[in-house]
Structure 1
């Protein structure tokens, strides 16, 4: 029997306490009713705390959070980062430059005891790889964001969020890839609304407690998904082996990626494997299926002594 479990959660959603269209209780109900195990309500510059968990029959845990939200300059360049597991409200800093605002807010979140997730880097094309590389202290970077206006997939001339992740990893920075909903709309479900259920994390932990979930997020013991389920991720000194939960009539492709986003190998089927070669930076994997859903496993880092 396995000594760990997979717990499904979302770390980015909004309520009427900022710019969402549903009360916090409605948001929490949606996630609990759809099989989520944990939730971070991340209202803009507001720490939404609910007694709901203590007073109701809630099987899902709530982790305190906030989307620390700044704007820079006359163009109001957005700098949005999530604070996860904080012990108090974090006051957003609006500094003279994007990098200064980003770093100051990261530092304030860390001082409040939280983990830092850099949100939707391509929202209004605010955060370049160079800016993120110049910052320190972030734990996660959104490689998928479910809001329809965050330019997640980029263009031929603009990097996707996933490509930005590779640039940051290639610089030597260790940061994990997150998929999130960024939910704002709980009632009207259309492609032009920011609805729940589009991107989530599956976290590996022994028990469903805030402390264990946060520790697993901190250590990268999770994968991110928009619809693909992974039953097993085995990593040892020789390589990576993944077990994908097969859905009827669905095909799967796994792309193993290394330094600078170089494709190292492509595998098909539900049991992809990669044997380490002479990598000096990192190896990660993106799993895609024939319906357009994806999953991302966290990078394995190497050094000269590996």
Structure 2
């Protein structure tokens, strides 16, 4: 799983020291519509074997006051104190603050790793961008997308901050749902999005389900976790033991290839699961079209190479994995520019 280190590599990802971490980037506590204090939530998630959690209570509640020992503070400040306290006591786990907000008409968004918060609904994307620029640390994730998210206008400025999309969401007592098609549709529009999976917990069951976000980093610390989100080194998995990444022409998952530099694309796919059999792997591109499929793998570990002629109309490629127990996983893309 990798050992927590204090100093992340400032030069980027060390491919000779890849570690796979698993966590929940979207969950709720007693501060809004969930149960348990933030500290209790983090303790529970750690006991379930998670490496990180991002607590994202609804922003409309965060201005309310709460009693912390003998001091009255806002719920936002209470969240920050809880996370700081937990991180100080736990060297092998990372807790990160965030909050959930509603946008009209696009749906719910998570603001991850902000310095502060805002209340109310996002009615203007440009206003949100100005807030993000002023904050300086936050990134944005799309929650449980629906048809309305397809109205979101593409913008190079928005691509700087909008980094991930939930392709899976849910935990008991709520229904688990997959959102692959919105992932594909937004990639087709030109959004640069990584794939994540969130339990979106509202009960004290953090980490009990296996629908998690896997990410690849050298170190387990806040800077490395957020960097993995920013650089699309994440994958949505329904198996907490799956390791997954791929490269094209030695370009790593989440990065971009210049279409004028190559006539052929050389894929390298790495998938490994210590508990489940890998049955099928698909290479998927624009429109959700399956470009290539490897069936009847029946292995727990595979390193697969495939060569594909460059198609000038394709702007992204992802990997989809099918495992035993009807479990699935989706990688983040490699983009063709």
TM-score (norm. length: structure 1): 0.80
Query: What is residue 184 of structure 1 aligned with on the other side?
Result: 202
Within 5 Å, give how 1:141-290 maps onto structure 2.
Answer: 141-147=165-171, 152-153=177-178, 161-186=179-204, 196-227=208-239, 229-231=241-243, 233-237=245-249, 238-247=265-274, 250-268=277-295, 269=297, 270-271=301-302, 272-279=304-311, 280-290=314-324
Q: Which of 32, 45, 62 matches 2:95? A: 62
Q: Which of 141, 145, 148 matches 1:121? A: 145
The structure with more strand, counted as a fraction of residues: 2
* Distance change in 2, residues 1:226/1:176 (3 Å): same
Within 5 Å, give how 1:97-136 maps onto structure 2.
Answer: 100=124, 104-105=127-128, 107-112=130-135, 113-122=137-146, 127-131=148-152, 133=154, 136=158
Aligned residue pairs total 277
Q: Is structure 2 residue 31 aligned with structure 1 residue 6?
A: no
* 2:210–2:238 Cα contact (<8 Å) kept: yes
Query: Runs of at least 4 residues of structure 1 off by over 4 A?
Result: 132-135, 147-151, 246-249
* Distance change in 2, residues 1:57/1:292 (3 Å): same
CA shift, 1:297, in A, is 1.0
Between the aligned partners of 2:335 and 2:29, the Cα distance in structure 1 is 37
Q: Which runs of 5+ in 1 are unaligned?
A: 154-160, 188-193
> Alignment RMSD, CA only?
2.8
Q: Comparing both chains, which one has the higher relative contact order based on Cα–Cα distances under 8 Å and sequence gaps of 6 or more?
A: 2
* Distance change in 2, residues 1:88/1:196 (3 Å): farther
Secondary structure at 1:43 match in 2? strand
Between the aligned partners of 1:244 and 1:201, the Cα distance in structure 2 is 15
TM-score (norm. length: structure 2): 0.73
Between the aligned partners of 1:151 and 1:35, the Cα distance in structure 2 is 21
* Distance change in 2, residues 1:55/1:255 (3 Å): closer
* 2:45–2:53 Cα contact (<8 Å) kept: yes
CA shift, 1:198, in A, is 3.8
CA shift, 1:119, in A, is 0.5
